[in-house]
Structures are given as C-alpha cells and as structure tokens.
Structure 1
Amino acid sequence: MRLAALFTLATATLASAASMPGTWKKLVHNQFASNAQLTVPAASTKTLSDDKVQAWNVHTLAEFPNYRLRVKEETKLCDPNVKQYVGYVDVTGKSDDKHFFFWFFESRRNPEKDPLVLWLNGGPGCSSLTGLLMELGPCRVNPGGNGTTLNPDSWNNEANLVFLDQPINVGFSYTDGEQVSNTVDAAEDVYAFLQLFLTTYKQYANLDFHVTGESYAGHYVPAIGHKIAEENDALKRNRLLKNSEKVEVNLKGLAIGNGLTDPLVQYEYYADMAADEKYGPILDDRDIEEMRSKYPTCKRLIESCYKWNTAFTCVPGAIYCNNAMIQPFQKTGLNIYDIRKKCDPSNPLCYSILTDIETYLNRPDVQDALGVDRQYEGCKQDINMKFMMAGDWMRPFVRDLPPLLAKGIRVLIYAGDSDFICNWIGNKAWSIELEWDGSAGFQKAKDLPWIAKSTGKQAGEFRTYGALTFLRIYEAGHMVPYDQPEVSSEMINMWIDNRKH
C-alpha cells in the first residue's frame, strides 16, 4: 500500500501533461497540492526533553561513519510480552541529516532461533507502521485510535520482526534536506540500517533473514535483496584482505505481496482483471476493449524505460499507462485495493483504520513511549510524486531477481485475488515470463490447491519450481494480512521455515 494514491488522485492531470514534457512537474505538484491532502490531527508541539534524549542507547560502526543507531530498549506498547526496540538510524549528510524510524519485536516462540523478517510498506511514501497496526504486526489499532488489541496471527508468532519507515520522510522518519526519490538510494540506507542493527544486536546476526513487503515494495524488496547479495559477495572476496566489522546478512528469502515488480508485463493485465468474472466484471466491454487497445502504446513506452532507465524515458510511460489502465476504474466507486467493496469515504485511501492509526500514533503518551516528536502521516503524496517524476515507477527491478534465484535465495510472490491495483493476474503472468535458470520448469509446473491448515479449506492455489513460488490467495485484497490474517500467518510461517505446501 499505497500505489494507487498517485493513480487515483492524479491520472487526469498526468494525462494532460503527457504532450507537454516541460510542464509535468508543475502539473503534478498542483494536483497533489489541491486534491491529495490527508486528514490528520493537529501537529504536536512537544519536544523531547534532555532526559529522554539521554535515554537513547547510541551505536556506531566504523565502516559507516555517517550513520549511527539510536535505540530505546524498554518500550512496552503493542505486545508487552516480547522484547522490543524502537529508535532511529541517524545519517549525517554534507548539507542535511536523515533519521529513519524503526520498531522491532522479538519472536513470540523462540527469538534465539527464529528468523529475522524485515517488513516494508509501499506507496512509495507510506509508513511501514501501517503493516504493523493494520496488517501483520503484533497488535491492531482499535477503532478511534484509543489503543490496540493483540493480534493472534502476527508474523512475530514465529519470527523476529522489524518495521522500517523508509524512504526518508515516511511515517516517523524525517529530514530537513532533500528526500530520497529512487529505489536504489533507498536500498543503500536500508542496508546501512541492517549492518548497524545486526552488529549491535549480534544475537540476530546469524539468523535466517527475509525481506518482505507489499505494493511498491515490489521495487524495494528486489533492490534490497540485490544490495545485500552484492555486499555479501564483496565481504567474502575481501575477508582475507582486510578486517571488517560488517557482517554477512544471512539472506534466505524474499516475499512480495501484491507488488509492482515488472510493469512491462503487469500493465497488460489490467484489462483482464477488469473483465474477470469472480468479482465482476467491474467495467463494461467498451472500457475493457479501450484499455486493451492502449496497451501497445503503453508497452512501447515501458520498453523505452527498460532500455534506457532514465527519468526522461521512464516518466512518459508512468503518465500514459496509469491514465490508460487505471483511470477507467475511478468511475466505479469501488475500492481499488479490494474490488469486493466500495471505497470508504471516511479516508481518501478507502480504509477508516488508516485514520485510527494516525490518531493513535499522534497521541502524546504513545509518542512519549516511542521517543518521537514528529507528526505522523500514514502516506505522503509528495514522496510519491518525487519517485514518479524521477522515473522510478516503471523501472525493471524484476531484473534483480534472476541472480538471487541463481544463488538459491527463495522468492515468494503472493497476491490477494480481489486487488485491482497490483492484481494477481499480472503478478502471476510476470512470474511465469521471468527469465531465470528455472524458467522452463516453472512454466511447466502445475497450479495446485493450497489447503490452509488453520481452516481446512482451500485458501488459494500455488505454483512452485526451484526457488520461485507464486501463490494466489482467495478472498483477499491488496493487503492480504488484513483480509486473511490466519491464512497470511500460516503462509509466512511455512515460507520462512521452508516447509512443503
């Protein structure tokens, strides 16, 4: 979440800008400034007192001289029965500083042996605390934001779990300088965080590690996996040449839920999703045929982005394709993240619980416990715009996956089948078309029923070969852990333990 924040709020303006390259940035800025403001409580005026500043435990690493880890280790919010760490990675820049917020929970089962899982929400520009308090975290926010309730299906049942607010200015993360506007730079900061965290808390350094996320994390997760593997290889090569405080991250797997990973393939299947009869069709034949007729132009624009990988060649595809494939959905009044439902008018992103999360995280007592003094917003449209205008949207981060698969790093692509914005049809299509060592075997593999042990019923269907698995999850939208908490918990536990389906 929240890819469609851009799609549903700005496509008309972007379409008019397509023929006027010089005005793209101004038009997009005006659209966001006028139509896309989220409703949040008034900003907090409190500041952290000196004694609270001194309560931080500060850790550094010589090989990352501009970074430091600042941690509070006594937090008891959300799940008071497990060890928690909250804090910031502070980055000193040449002209500005950056501060990335994180929240860590130990496993409820066996923290000394259970894997370490990193969760990232998408957007780009949305806080991973959405995942914590709405989806897969140890607790779920109560209606009205007056507290939380333990989540029995949390992903920390069998994993140590960390939520990171990235890129900068997302959620409680902040900077007074320039924002990150591309996935590659964001991955650099995530890797530095992992090194600081794992060298500080060495009890987790040798655990299996998994990078997980949803939506625009279909960009983030492959890029972070690529960065980790690249740095691990460099550490192995240089181990005999010099001493290094850095650790090899024990990367075992990636999991992407309803992600945007291979736009070239995925954009072709919006029309098929609109015509799919399980929950629809949701558009009439004329609209669907018009979408199909526009895909060849969309394809040519994305191919140009894949070839040249510059803002100049990538922004046009985002403008044209989003208008052609997403705008027809706007007239339905349906929730673009779950076509079974109408969009909840109480929140611009269709879910009232997002307002509850903002209310809860802006409470003074909660902010005191977390050691923060920032106004929390779940999603920020200016970050979304910056990524789009940098050409990041259509770039082929799918290309980071074949080398990882070749190393035996397992990749799970899962998708709730009532999501429109990153629908299961497009996600399955690109996983089948992916060129890697096991392509032929994956293409020939059969789709098999997945029977959830928690319900005894068929919860979806999967295809697997070698290190790659695609899983379609029934009766779930963009945020699978929100719609199917028991099933999603069983899914991730099977995945990280590498159990057979």
Structure 2
Amino acid sequence: MERPRCYSPLALHLLLCLFSLRACSAASITAGTPDESELWGYVEVRPKAHLFWWYYKSPQKTSTPSKPWPTVLWLQGGPGASGVGLGNFLEMGPLDVDLKPRNSTWLHKADLIFVDNPVGTGYSYVEDDSLFVTSDWQQAADMTTVVRALAKEVPTLASSPLFLVAESYGGKYAATLGASIARAVRAGELNVTLGGVAVGDSWISPEDFTLSYTPLLLSVSRLDDNAGDEANNLQAMKYSTYGQDSQPGSNTIDGIMNGVIKQKLKIIPKNFTWGEQSDSVYNALVNDFMKPKIDEIDELLSYGINVTVYNGQLDVICSTNGAEAWVQKLKWDGLRTFLSLPRQPLYCGASKGTKAFVRSHKNLHFYWILGAGHYVPADQPCIALSMISSITQSPAS
C-alpha cells in the first residue's frame, strides 16, 4: 500500500495530513481501527519476504511509575503454525473462534502482539520459495527487523517493557530473538526494553525431550514393558518421531481466517489463503529442528534478563521431565541455588485446589502447570492468566 504523501501546498490538505501524521510517516502500518486500539500490517523484512503482525491495545491499560504497562509478543510453534490465528483465537486473544469475548484474554494484563512468523506462516508470505528461513537465527534476524519497525510504529512500546512469550517450537524463536534483541539494545541499535522471555512447553533441547518419552509413557502406563524395550532401542539411535504440532482443533478457524477476519484486515493479498500450518516453513527448517537453544537461554540469563520456563504436566511432546533436564544443563551461576529451592504452590479463582507450582531464583523462574498439556493457555486459562501477570509484573489488579 503506497503511503500517503504530505507535500500538497493546500492548507486544508496539510492540516489533514498533520492530523494523520502517523500514517504519513509509518510505512509498516497499513491498517487499524480508528481509535488505534488495534493496528496491523506487513513488514518487508527482506526483499519479497513479508511478515504480518497484529497489535491489540488493552482496554484495561493502566500504569504506575514502578510498574509500567507491559506488552506481550506471542510466538507460535510448528514450525509454521500461525500465531495470528491459533494463539490469538484459540488461546489468549480478545475473541475466541466464535468471535465471542474471551474472559481469560491476556489483554486483562498486557497489550498483545501476534506475528505470523517465520515468513510463509499464516498471513505472512514470500514471493520466492528460496526466501523461507532455514535456521532459527535467520528467523531471529527477520523478527528483529519487525521489532525495530514496531518500536517506531506502535507508540506504547516506547514506555512499555516487551515480553517474548512462546509455545512449542516457538520457544526456539523466543530464545534466539531474545538474544538478538538484547544484543541490538546493548549495541545502541534498538530502543526497546526487553522485560523478559518466557518459553512454554518449548522445544529448547530436542534431545532431552526425545530421551524423556519412554520413561514418561511407561510411568503413565501408555507403554508396557515390551513396547518400552522397543522405544528404548529407538531412543538409543537418537531417533525422533516428533512431527508437526497438533494445534488445538477447530472446524471453523480456517473459515474465519479466510472469511470475516481477512475481510476486516483488508490488506491481505486477494488470492491468498491462510493456513494454520505451513509445511513449506516446517520443511525449510528441518536442518535446524533438532538443534538445541540452551546457550541462548544462558546468554539471556547472563544479561540479567528474566527467563521463565513453564510446562504443562501432561505434555508429552515437550514433557516436563525434558524441560527439567535441559534446565539442569544451564551454565548460569545461580543454577545450583535455583535447583535447591522448594517449589511454591499456586492457586487460582474460587478453587481451593493447587493449580501449579513455581520455583524462582534471581532471574530464572519455572512453572509446573497441573492439568495442562501442550497448550497451557487453552488447557488452564485461569492459572495461565495469573502466571502472565506475574511474569510481566502487570499493574492490573
């Protein structure tokens, strides 16, 4: 979309242009609601490679000098799963898949940004198939370009700490993007405040997760001893059967994303079809799929950035045992003390039962979410909302 030009000598046109100054100066913002409570657009991160983003301003927004209002940037997994569609409408966005208000939306605690990442995911697209990212760090470079654009185009980011929150393979995105942002900030190349990085049920260390499968399934009687022996033989060959994400299902998500939502956004290419999972994106990252991102987590901790690990206790894909195993491999100097501390129980809502446990030391935090599988915000929305409030130090009551 060609951006408006503000060179008319007519005083009236100049006045109108001044009232719409952000539209005149912001190439990446292509649409939004009149009150700017929602903004969305494309960023051309590389020639012919376009990432789509969608920003929501919280109606509960408040702030104090000691607790500025936070912004959460959500990163879906896959790789190739759409955060704009799945995370937004199936997990924590303001509306559910039936376009009805979600009581547990994270907008109660923070502003939200969803990005269809990497290029080729969801509404994001490439004009040449050679432009799909082939590494997590290439993804991080593209997303750093998006964050740099958003820092200019979303006015709240100037004073709002940014929290990267991710799920599944998105944890690898968050780890590399977090490190990339931190380096850019330290070099004076990016003016944002990185408040923290949270990786939920995340594929940070593929080896530790695959090694956890056999004992986990045996412990819950999903395997008998014979099947366990066979699984151990496969495990010894370091063979992974992990495939594409089983995203929370809906018979209507494709319909709304290619129907009413596409019509609302107006800027999606006319003949473009949204998909919840891109096989092309997934296949392009195959060589990086089994590479761990523990070093990037260590880097974030060394900078003093808050890192949160959260896991659904019923997750098999990214099991809690696997997450505990990779955390124990951290080189962070506070690890020994962290591991020695007891877990604290957490409660939520009117229920008197324990909903989660948490352990914290300095800038590392680990949440064990009870009764949740791979999709914590969908499985346990109450404790997920409480957790995001704690992670972001939201001033919302």
Using structure 2 for the length normalisation, give the TM-score.
0.86
Alignment of 1:221-236 (within 5 A): 221-235=174-188
Show structure 2 runs of 5+ residues with no match: 5-19
Q: How many angstroms apart in 2 are the aligned matches of 1:251 and 1:292?
A: 41
Q: Structure 1 residue 88: deviation in Å?
A: 0.9
Match for residue 375 of structure 1 among 250, 266, 273: 273
**SS of 2:33's equivalent?**
coil
Note the alpha carbon deviations across 1:244-273, whole angstroms, 9 max, x for none.
xx5422012111111000123222111122
CA RMSD of aligned residues (A): 2.6
CA apart distance, 1:361: 1.0
Aligned counterpart, 1:216 = 169
Matched length: 369
Match of 1:205 among 152, 158, 180: 158
Closer/same/farther in 2, CA of residues 459 and 75 from structure 1, 3 Å limit: farther
Measured after TM superposition, the shift of residue 433 of structure 1 is: 2.9
1:392-431 mapped onto 2 (5 Å cutoff): 392-431=288-327
2:214 counterpart residue number: 271
How big is the shift at 1:75? 6.9
Are 2:116 and 1:165 equivalent residues in the alignment? yes
Question: Does the CA-based 8 Å contact 2:184-2:190 persist in structure 1?
Answer: no
Alignment of 1:395-474 (within 5 A): 395-453=291-349, 455-474=351-370
Distance 1:209 1:157, change over 3 A: same
Say which SS state the counterpart of residue 29 (structure 2) adopts: strand
Q: State the match for 2:223 in structure 1.
A: 283
Q: Distance in 2 between matches of 1:161 and 1:430?
A: 29
Q: What is the CA–CA distance in structure 1 between the aligned matches of 2:46 and 2:332, rounded to whole Å?
A: 39
Superposed CA deviations along residues 31-50 of structure 1, whole A, max 9, x for unmatched, are xxxxxxxxxxxxxxxxx999
Q: TM-score, normalised by structure 1?
A: 0.69
Partner letter of residue 286 of structure 1?
N
Aligned partner of 1:239 in structure 2 is: none
Alignment counterpart, residue 98 of structure 1, candidates 45, 49, 64:
49
Structure 2 counterpart SS, 1:103: strand
Contact 1:432 1:442 in 2 (8 A): no
Residue 205 of structure 2 aligns with which residue? 262
Is residue 2:146 matched to residue 1:193?
Answer: yes
- One-letter code of the match for 2:308? L
Please state which structure has a larger fraction of its residues in helix: 1
Q: Point out where structure 1 has 5 or more consecutive residues left out of the alignment.
A: 1-47, 61-67, 77-81, 143-147, 236-245, 299-320, 328-335, 338-348
Query: Percent identity over the alignment?
Result: 26
Instruction: Return the alpha-carbon distance in structure 2 between the equivalents of residues 128 and 498 of structure 1.
Output: 22
Aligned to 2:29: 70
Matched position secondary structure for 1:107: coil
**Structure 2 contact 52–116 (Cα < 8 Å) conserved:** yes
Superposed displacement of residue 462, structure 1:
2.2
Q: Which amino acid aligns with 1:382?
A: S
One-letter identity of the residue aligned with 1:83: S
SS of residue in 1 equivalent to 2:216: helix
- 1:87 alignment partner, one of 36, 41, 47: 41
> 1: CA distance between counterparts of 2:256 and 2:155?
32
- Any conservation in 1 of the 2:358–2:366 contact (CA below 8 Å)? yes
| Shift in CA distance, 202/252, structure 1 to aligned 2, threshold 3 Å | same
- Given that residues 116 and 124 in structure 2 are in contact (C-alpha distance below 8 angstroms), is that contact kept between their aligned partners in structure 1? yes
Q: Check the 8 A contact 2:54/2:115 in 1, yes or no.
A: yes
Deviations 1:318-372 (A, max 9, x none): xxx214xx59xxxxxxxx98xxxxxxxxxxx47441x311110111x43221122
Q: Which amino acid counterpart does residue 421 of structure 1 have in structure 2?
A: I
1:322 counterpart residue number? 240
CA separation of 1:397 and 1:322: change in aligned 2, threshold 3 A: same
Matching residue within 221, 230, 235 for 1:295: 235
Distance in 1 between the 2:37 and 2:62 partners?
Answer: 9
Rounded to whole Å, the distance in 2 between the matches of 1:185 and 1:422 is 23
More divergent stretch after superposition (430-439 vs 445-454) = 445-454
Separation in 2 of the partners of 1:49 and 1:251?
A: 32
Report the residue type matching 2:282 in the other structure: N
Residue 131 (str. 1) matches residue 87 (str. 2)? yes
Contact 1:108–1:159, Cα closer than 8 Å, also in 2: no
Displacement of 1:163 in angstroms is 0.1
**How big is each residue's C-alpha offset from its partner over 1:110-158, in whole Å with a ceiling of 9 and x where there is no partner?**
266410110010100111020000001111112xxxxx01111111111
Whether the 8 Å CA contact 1:57–1:72 is kept in 2: the answer is no
AA at the equivalent of 1:69: S
